[in-house]
Chains A and B, each alone.
Chain A
Amino acid sequence: DQQVKQNSPSLSVQEGRISILNCDYTNSMFDYFLWYKKYPAEGPTFLISISSIKDKNEDGRFTVFLNKSAKHLSLHIVPSQPGDSAVYFCAATPNSGYALNFGKGTSLLVTP
């Protein structure tokens, strides 16, 4: 049973606008959440993370929001750039363990 869900397989956003990628999880034991970005023919690369003791973490154009009561997190990219076009994976882990649970990914396309 999938514990991390990314229900939007794809998203298209215009350059300069905000991209919002969503992720839902079912396991209340998850306490650390990460976003990875993957370009074609490359491995995923770490983007940003958030601990369950926070509700927001910001790094430049990327902000992750965590709503524990709703078991929902989102990644905001502002402003979006064509180079942000990639597949974004949400991942979660319980008790800072190593067993990362990944979502299926959302393919983001940023158009000029």
Chain B
Amino acid sequence: ETGVTQTPRHLVMGMTNKKSLKCEQHLGHNAMYWYKQSAKKPLELMFVYSLEERVENNSVPSRFSPECPNSSHLFLHLHTLQPEDSALYLCASSQGVTVTGELFFGEGSRLTVL
């Protein structure tokens, strides 16, 4: 069992829908991340939270809205997405926001926007 759990694993939504991706980490970490992996592209950092405060927002469109209610949970709220937003969304956590230690990734949520 992975220390970082993502739900749902697969999601299909229309462009007018509102949905949310959920991430939970059981590792006692205090930093959490959302990454996007599109086909034939590198993993792209979307958001970083440290101690529940957002510390990084990599010019992500406002149709993606993160929420971090506590250090163990991270959400990505989705609304009025575009087909090009179809991708694998990966959550990760770490102890602190420096990466001399490694990131622990979840298994990802595969999103398809119709």
Which residues of A does B touch, CB under 8 Å? 2, 4, 32, 34, 36, 41-46, 49, 51, 89, 93, 96-105
Partner of B104, one of A46, A98, A104, A105: A46
The stretch among B11-19, B42-50, B67-75 that forms the contact with chain A is: B42-50
Pull 6 A–B residue pairs with CB atoms less than 8 Å apart, ordered by A.
Answer: A97-B97, A97-B99, A98-B56, A100-B99, A102-B42, A102-B44
CB-based contact B42/A104 at 8 Å: yes
Q: What class of interface size applies to chain B in its complex with A?
A: 20 to 34
Q: Which residue of A lies closest to B96 (CB)?
A: A98
Q: Which residues of A contact B55 (CB under 8 A)?
A: 98
Q: Which residues of A contact B78 (CB under 8 A)?
A: none
CB-based contact A32/B108 at 8 Å: no
Which residues of B does A touch, CB under 8 Å? 2, 4, 6, 31, 33, 40-45, 48, 55-56, 90, 92, 94, 97-100, 102-108
Task: Give the shortest distance, in Å, between A97 (CB) and chain B (any CB).
Answer: 7
CB-based contact B45/A43 at 8 Å: no
CB-based contact B102/A46 at 8 Å: yes
The answer for the CA separation of A45 and B106 in the assembled complex, in Å, is 9
CB-based contact A96/B42 at 8 Å: no
Having A43-B108, A101-B42, one finds 15 other A-B pairs with CB under 8 Å, namely A4-B42, A32-B99, A34-B99, A42-B107, A43-B105, A45-B105, A46-B102, A46-B103, A96-B99, A98-B31, A99-B45, A100-B43, A102-B44, A103-B42, A104-B42
